[in-house]
A = this chain, B = another copy of it.
Amino acid sequence: MAVRRHIEQAWHASARGAGFLEVDGPPLESLDLFKAKSGDAIAGELYAFNDKGGREVALRAELTPTIGRLVATHGQSLKKPIKWYAVPQLFRYQRQQRGRLKEHLQFNVDVIGAAEVGADAEVVSVALDALRRLGLTSEHVYVRVNHRAAVDQKLAELDCADNEKVLRLIDKGALTAENAAGALGTAAVGELQAWLTEQTDGDAHLGEFFAACEDFGVREFVELDRHIVRGLDYYTGFVFEIFDRGLSERAIAGGGRYDNLVEKLGGPSLPALGFGMGDVVLGDLLKDLKLLPAAPARLDALVVPIGADMLGPARQVVRRLRDGGQRAEAPFAPIKVGKAFKLAEQAGATRVFLVGPDEWADGTVKVKDLREGGETVAYFAEL
């Protein structure tokens, strides 16, 4: 939980810092909603079931369909652009493996109702801002960006007969003349491969995007990569993925424009983009890079009653300290002072209060400072 909260805190801070409002939706949604976005096959990857009323429902594996539904339903009354973020718990019916669990948290950031390239750069900069807050730099992570229109245009030039097939091959890193047979000829595959690996930033949209990234101070993180097309059918333009620069090249986040989704779900036509960033791969990466903080202290102060008669006074001291914003506890039964100091140390406490009968009769307690050493006497009334 300490790791999860550490990561979440960075997510909240980066999204709020950019003026995004937090939202959430139900973890259990109608199965149809997920099918509407991703096709019928998606049901196989979800915890989908019939509820007792016979409804087909599923635990969400992503938040975007819910966001799309909310905007389709309430979008007319909401000020555009809508800047929303969420930290939903997501579920996938799959065998657990490193980096992919049955349940995880995801940082979700969306801008709806803005077609401008500045929105693309803002969304990417929020993702990077979260990673920077966690101690990651451009030496650890980078963003591969692309624009689907540029790829589609290239495929049109090459007289491609089946764009979707070729995009899937590019996405999987499986573009060969053999695999592309029927969609592209051998010469066209060769030309496409060459074009994909040209690291140019030649189109207007991405040129503007890189300039905006420069303004946002994240240009050093961002690279053009024509291979990034994102498998999901619903991406419509700008797409990106954030990777670890290490050998494992794990994907930390991914997103892009999905300008058709809101309309598909019965709402108005609205440009939209967003990304998801999970806590599992990110947590593994932070751990590998030793960027996770030490477990936080559980206590600031341990209050030790010297004898059973002092249990009550110790609770009074605890109350005072808690009211003053300190994390404090007293054992439920008297313990030996030696054991108390060990317990205080294990809990990360910096002070031990000793509540003895003689001192208490004088209205005082002894205070041991575990960091600086030394002992002082404090008046209870002044705690």
Closest to A87 in B: B1
**CB-based contact B5/A103 at 8 Å:** no
Chain B residue numbers with a CB within 8 Å of A328 are 17-19
Known A-B contacts A215-B316, A312-B215, A329-B19; the reply to A27 vs B24 at CB < 8 A is no
Interface members, chain A 329-383 (any B CB < 8 Å)? 329-330, 332-333, 346-347
Whether A39 sits at the interface, judged by CB under 8 Å, is no
Task: Report A127 CB to chain B, min CB distance, Å.
Answer: 14
Chain B residue numbers with a CB within 8 Å of A18 are 322, 327-329
Chain B residue numbers with a CB within 8 Å of A83 are 329
Chain B residue numbers with a CB within 8 Å of A19 are 298-299, 327-329, 347
Interface members, chain A 75-130 (any B CB < 8 Å)? 79, 81, 83, 89, 91, 93, 102-103, 114, 116, 118-119, 121-122, 125, 129
Closest to A322 in B: B17
Interface members, chain A 297-316 (any B CB < 8 Å)? 298-299, 311-313, 315-316
Closest to A81 in B: B332
Chain B residue numbers with a CB within 8 Å of A212 are 311-312, 315
Interface-facing stretch out of A48-56, A166-174, A232-240: A48-56
Whether A181 sits at the interface, judged by CB under 8 Å, is no
Chain B residue numbers with a CB within 8 Å of A329 are 18-19, 83, 122
Query: CA separation between A347 and B326, bound complex, in Å?
Result: 34
Interface members, chain A 1-49 (any B CB < 8 Å)? 1-2, 4-5, 16-19, 21-24, 26-28, 47, 49
Known A-B contacts A215-B315, A217-B319; the reply to A1 vs B24 at CB < 8 A is yes
Whether A216 sits at the interface, judged by CB under 8 Å, is yes
Whether A149 sits at the interface, judged by CB under 8 Å, is no
Whether A289 sits at the interface, judged by CB under 8 Å, is no
Closest to A132 in B: B323
**Most chain B C-beta atoms within 10 Å of own C-beta, residue among A17, A50, A59, A316:** A17
Whether A318 sits at the interface, judged by CB under 8 Å, is yes
Q: Using CB atoms and an 8 Å cutoff, list the residues of chain A in contact with chain B.
A: 1-2, 4-5, 16-19, 21-24, 26-28, 47, 49-52, 59, 79, 81, 83, 89, 91, 93, 102-103, 114, 116, 118-119, 121-122, 125, 129, 211-212, 214-217, 298-299, 311-313, 315-316, 318-319, 322-323, 325-330, 332-333, 346-347
